[in-house]
Structure 1
Amino acid sequence: MEYRINRLGHQGDGIADGPVYAPLTLPGEVVTGRLEGERLQDIRIVTPSEDRVKPPCRHFKSCGGCQVMHASDDFVAAWKTDVIRRALEAQGIAAPMRPILTSPEQSRRRAGFAARRTKSGALVGFHGRASDTIVEIPDCRLIAPALREGIEVARDAALCGGSRKAVLSVLVSDSLEGLDVAVTGGKPLDQALLTELAALTERHRLARLTWDGEGIAMRAAPTIAVGAARISPPPGAFLQATEHGQASLISAMREALSGASSVVDLFAGCGTFSLPLAQSAEVHAVESEAAMLQALDLGWRHASGVKKVTTEVRDLFRNPILPEDLKGFDGVVIDPPRAGAEAQCQKLALAQIPRIGFVSCNPVTFARDAKVLIDGGYDMLWVQAVDQFRWSTHVELAASFRLSHM
């Protein structure tokens, strides 16, 4: 039986009438396959889309790291932009959409590798498509060249501290001082393993190695540049995936907060936005993780040419900042996790702060929260899509809000 693909779903699968889900297909294509439940298997493309391209990575069919590498760049850009537009339309919102900014190939500065010991050595890579199988990815087109050494680090970690039953998770981040590696799922630490891991750190010249949350060795505190400052994030802390993506989002927030002299940064993390904005405004950074704020504060204290930055440890989900406590600020930047920040946005709408810069990794919760602000008297001036996760289904965005009477 033949199926015509009508659209692409949020997970990157083609969707035909039924619905029938067909991975690695594109809208307009006619395909055949074996139907299992709602999912098509053993797919053959009868009529290919004009947007179909040869995937540039030889690991694409087996690796689960990318979902839409079989589509042209123009198609992916339009599709991701449309995901945002449709989420806004579902809330009755229309806003000017700027052209998407896509990070280049081989620019990911952080990757989570899976590693497992085998009879003959160790297997390292990403999980396979819709499976727990580890697929080796020596020619990955996503990760920055510096992270390729991380594959060998993960292999050595599995050999000395992994097992043939459990899978190690090895998070590798590039820093100015070298690779920052955080391993979870390994064997319990004893003196022999500590000695091997210390030797591994020296052999690969790692900046820092953490094992199941415990610091093993640090040759130099790993730092990244943020605006005029350098920060040393705690192990495993959130970072923007690419330098290009970070720069794009910072530029968007600077524009959205232009003219502000006193800014509150909500869900501030390690200071991705606080520190650049502090070059022109005083900033109060609010975050639930104390270790992240410590990194932010240290970065600010060693930076030059920045205004005052204060910090506050606060769970904004359970304890959003009230309107009366937001008086005195003339700008807000908010960058919540995927769940969004509906409760905090309700307080922001009441506070009537003139400028709000919003960053989101989930168009659906962003649209919900944007409606709260718009109903509270704000105009959405523009939305900027940012694609740090090239060839994936993930999309981020930045947006600018102003009070209607400004």
Structure 2
Amino acid sequence: MSERELTIAELGHRGDGVAMTENGPVFVAGALPGETVRTQVENGRAKNPVFQTRSADRVEPACRHFDSCGGCSVQHLAETPYLDWKRKLVEKALRDRGIETAVSETVAATSGGRRRAVLTATRAGRHTLLGYHEKASHRLVDISECPVLEPAIVQALPGLKSLASEILPKKGELRLTVLNTTAGLDVAIDKADRNYDRKIPVLSQKTVELDLARLSVNGEVLLEIRPPVLDMDGIGVVAAPGGFTQATKSAEETLCRLVLEGIGKAKTVADLFAGAGTFALRLAKHSNVHAVEGDAAAIAALDRALRKPQGLKKVTFEKRDLFRRPLVLGELEPFDAVVFDPPRAGAQAQSELLASSKVKTIVAVSCNPATLARDLRLLLDGGYALQSVTPVDQFQYAPHIEVVAVLTRE
């Protein structure tokens, strides 16, 4: 296998450099546009590339683990071209669906602002590893720092590793979902050893020593010292163990601002895939809201939050699988505006019905530009017009991007 020299033309959607050749694209990990490398090529990927030239946009990575850890892919790119790359990811996804529209500049993330982390723990001989998987590998990187996480989580890493070591299965991995709340860290452990109940006393002791707000194992709350409360614009919501939460507080506030601006003066709003009420509780300060969510724990969290007087407009809610049972036309009719924020799979079934509805304003929020573009195509074909598309960089240094799109019925 002979070496060849390649020039990087662009960044791919996962953060790899892409060189165009007569045999198709070649992906070069860690390379930036404009750089040249000498490398062997196997199955469309560069093997052990040697850099011949370096881009002026290359910067020193913020983390010692960057070269091996798969948690981040583009720490080596300067901020301005990095944010532009994220915007272009959204533009390309829209173009692939035949949507030509202006996309706003990317709203930057807050460095070190990730309040939710999903970590993996496993055995390595007599030692415990805690961290993220290597790039394109099942091997685990034992992290001692992480520039994207809030300091409270980073400081707790040694204690979390000790906690995980008590209930690691003999084979395989366990997962720790760590959320920093106003009351401290909320830790939910999944895939623990099935006999973990024997370790409840030591787990409880470590929970107290680490000053965790709550510890859950395999779906069971073992100890709650303080309710792990999330502040949603002055309204306290007790997070469901391991439940979905916007990854950073600053991005959550930006998304909510864009949603509120998008619905304008709508008096009645449906909040679909509502979670624990991230948008619904803020919307209800100005509008009557009907929240729909398929996860029982999230709906229960919203219900508990609403039991305290909050000075809100009318809020109703229902547990409903919107993938199987989207709101039909008769159910959509009362609403001036609809907000939807589905998982990565998108909201195809609901978008098909919205496209035939008379709802005046739709605000679509998504963490997946490809499925968002598919859903927007349905709405545009149904007579809606795009008013704005705004990327929000909630996942710093990763290839993921949040997007808020506002549409109105002509």
> Smaller-chain TM-score range?
over 0.9
CA distance in 1, matches of 2:381, 2:209: 58
1:347 aligns with 2:353: yes
Contact 1:228 1:276 in 2 (8 A): no
- The equivalent of 1:210 in structure 2 is 216
* Secondary structure of 1:19 counterpart: strand
Q: Which residue of 1 aligns with 2:342?
A: 336
Q: Secondary structure at the match of 1:100?
A: coil
- The equivalent of 1:369 in structure 2 is 375
- Asked if 1:128 is matched to 2:134, the reply is yes
Q: For 1:277-292, what aligned pairs fall within 5 Å after superposition?
A: 277-292=283-298
Unaligned runs of at least 5 residues, structure 2:
none
Matching residue of 2:5: 2
Residue 142 (structure 1) aligned to one of 145, 148, 166: 148
Q: Is the 8 A contact 1:228 1:303 kept in 2?
A: no
1:12-23 alignment to 2 at 5 Å?
Answer: 12-16=15-19, 17=21, 18-23=24-29
The aligned residue for residue 108 of structure 1 is 114
Instruction: Note the 1:5-404 alignment, pairs <5 A.
Output: 5-16=8-19, 17=21, 18-163=24-169, 165-404=171-410
Which segments of structure 1 move beyond 4 Å, counting only runs of 4 or more? none
Q: Which amino acid aligns with 1:276?
A: R
The alpha carbon displacement at 1:11 in A equals 1.4
Deviation at 1:119, TM superposition (A): 4.2
Report the CA distance between 1:166 and its aligned residue. Answer: 2.4
> What letter matches 1:230 in structure 2?
G
Contact 1:118 1:164 (C-alpha < 8 Å) held by counterparts:
no
Secondary structure of 1:324's match?
helix
Q: In the alignment, is the contact (CA less than 8 A) between 1:228 and 1:275 conserved in 2?
A: no
CA distance in 2, matches of 1:89, 1:40: 28
Are 2:270 and 2:289, in contact at CA under 8 Å, matched by a contact in 1? yes
Do the aligned partners of 2:346 and 2:375 also contact (CA within 8 Å) in 1? Answer: yes
Residue 260 of structure 2 aligns to which amino acid in structure 1? R
Distance 2:111 2:142 in 1: 19
Q: For residue 208 of structure 1, what is the amino acid of its counterpart?
A: R
Provide the C-alpha distance between the structure 1 equivalents of 2:354 and 2:129, rounded to a whole number of angstroms.
49
Query: Which has the higher mean CA deviation after the structures are superposed, 383-392 or 112-121?
Result: 112-121
Question: Shift of the alpha carbon at 1:148?
Answer: 1.6
Deviation at 1:190, TM superposition (A): 5.0
List per-residue Cα deviations over 1:202-247 (Å, max 9, x = no partner). 1111111111112211112211011231111211111101001100
Letter in 1 for 2:49: I
For 2:196 and 2:310, locate their aligned partners in 1 and report how far apart those are by CA, in whole Å. Answer: 43
SS of equivalent residue, structure 1 residue 156: helix
Q: Which runs of 5+ in 1 are unaligned?
A: none
1: CA distance, partners of 2:94 / 2:174: 39
Query: Aligned AA for 1:310?
Result: T
In structure 2, distance between residues paired with 1:317 and 1:351: 18
| Whole-angstrom CA distance in 1 between matches of 2:324 and 2:119 | 33
Q: 1:342 to 1:190 in 2, by over 3 A?
A: closer
Cα separation, 2, equivalents of 1:142 and 1:152: 17
Offset at residue 107 of structure 1 (A): 0.5
Q: Distance in 2 between matches of 1:254 and 1:68?
A: 31
String of CA shifts for 1:36-83, please: whole Å, max 9, x gaps. 322112111111122211112221111111101111111111111011
Say how many residue pairs are matched. 404
- Taking the aligned partners of 1:6 and 1:190, their CA distance within structure 2 comes to 52
Residue 197 of structure 1 deviates from its aligned partner by 1.0
State the distance in 2 between where 1:287 and 1:175 align.
Answer: 22
- TM-align CA RMSD: 1.5
Task: For residues 142-184 of structure 1, give each alpha carbon's deviation from its aligned partner in whole angstroms, at most 9, with x where no partner exists.
Answer: 1001112441232112321114632221111101111100111
TM-score by length of 1: 0.96
Tell me how far apart the structure 2 counterparts of residues 147 and 123 of structure 1 sit (CA, whole Å): 16
Q: Displacement of 1:191 after TM fit?
A: 4.6
TM-score by length of 2: 0.95
Contact 2:186 2:214 survives alignment (8 Å): yes
Partner SS for 2:106 = strand
C-alpha contact (below 8 Å) 1:228/1:305 kept by paired residues: no
Partners of 1:138 and 1:190 lie apart in 2 by 26
3-state SS in 2 of match to 1:250: helix
